Chains A and B, each alone.
Chain A
């Protein structure tokens, strides 16, 4: 699931870096973590918990190991924004400590493994009802589906990015990733549900407040836009049949040179290319704009 450097084209990797960077600045600002309060140490400790749990690789199913991702669990316990931040630090630490996932691909990994798992897991969990935690009915089921869906969505994103980069063709990568993670997701889901149920039984007081930050409808819309726009642009801009603008800029030829038709300079090609380049520039500009905005609001407050 952790994408190493080398499998994403510069364009996709760098634009996801921008997206994730902006997203993290947004989350850090929006989550309004009261750093003098107890949320900060809890976030840090839970990040260490997820990291340790992922490293353990408990053996399940006679041999294959269940790889706990934990994003949906954190999102349920801490809320999606703080959950995303916490998971993001896990992903960064995995890249820096274990070289699990690359440095330039960090943005992609943060996007897949923290943002996507936390938000999809949280959304699915909330489908089961607003007061599901307090009531505790169907808690296991809600946790299970949150965990399973988050793993599936996240692996699909991973396959898409690799496919768009031309590293692993989508028609091979997507089914492979999805079918493998459908099984991993079962373990993840059962663990998420089981842990939630266990927590409710033993320490219900821990589950009452969801990290204290309400996540209102405007935030959902904001978050969806933040995710959806870049994804859409990526799909428009990311087709591997054309030279990567950055690579073009740097005078390099695309890796998938076999896929480029014989006459790449036909007029329709050039128009196509310009549209895609414009989309890419728009995307980067948007990312910078968002991060600026968040920055300036943060410095003002």
Chain B
């Protein structure tokens, strides 16, 4: 029997202003798998990710590591799920970078030297050097902010990691570094992104969303090479597939 990291059954969600963002989503993610969620803007990718740790609560059921996501056990479940938000500003709320990255481990009452180790590791994984620690997040560039929020999530060492546009605003070198780091993680990964090259590199499985529904779910290379499907949902076949690179 496979262990599921995430099981979503018949999930629907309507925003308070009446926008129907998700409609009867079914999705199973086995432990340790890396899946990508792709789709045009406004497809509902971010909305879906926000359901993973109970930020939004729609109708239907969600199980995280075999535990139902309900109001009561929310706190425990949330520690298992790290979410990298689309807007890093939502995620960095402390006066300095160091405090932001240490916030999670400190709350877990990890011993001091362990905190130090985790913060250092998370910062270097996110491609940041030490001089950034004492700076304030609002003085950072957008790409730096994104990496700091990644570090803040990584420092929690979550079992499931949901990422919303991890590569946007990153320069090429940091993007490569990020892909390397992601590939080395043991956590179950769910990545919502428009960066299809990233998807090809990291995720064997892809889910295509549009207008709040899942239209396709399967092997990445097959799906992304299907130009009819991609065109129908406002996406395009990645260049490297068109040109025949990256054949494994």
Contacts and interface: CB of A to CB of B under 8 A. Distances in A.
A98 interface: no
B17 interface: yes
Contacts of B93: 41
Contacts of B16: 203, 205
Is chain A's interface secondary structure helix, strand, loop, or mixed overall? Answer: helix
Interface residues of A, number: 4
Nearest to A206: B16
Interface string B31-52: 0000000000000000000000
A172 interface: no
A60 interface: no
B72 to A, nearest CB: 15
Nearest to A204: B16
A35 interface: no
A110 to B, nearest CB: 22
A205 B15 CA distance: 11
Nearest to B16: A205
Nearest to B75: A36
B17 to A, nearest CB: 7
A203 B17 CA distance: 7
Interface string A175-206: 00000000000000000000000000011010
A200 to B, nearest CB: 13
Nearest to A41: B93
B83 to A, nearest CB: 16
Nearest to A44: B93
A74 B13 CA distance: 30
Interface in A33-50: 41
5 contacts: A41-B93, A202-B17, A203-B16, A203-B17, A205-B16
Interface of A: 41, 202-203, 205
Interface of B: 16-17, 93
Interchain residue pairs A-B with the least CB separation, the first 5: A205-B16, A203-B16, A202-B17, A203-B17, A41-B93
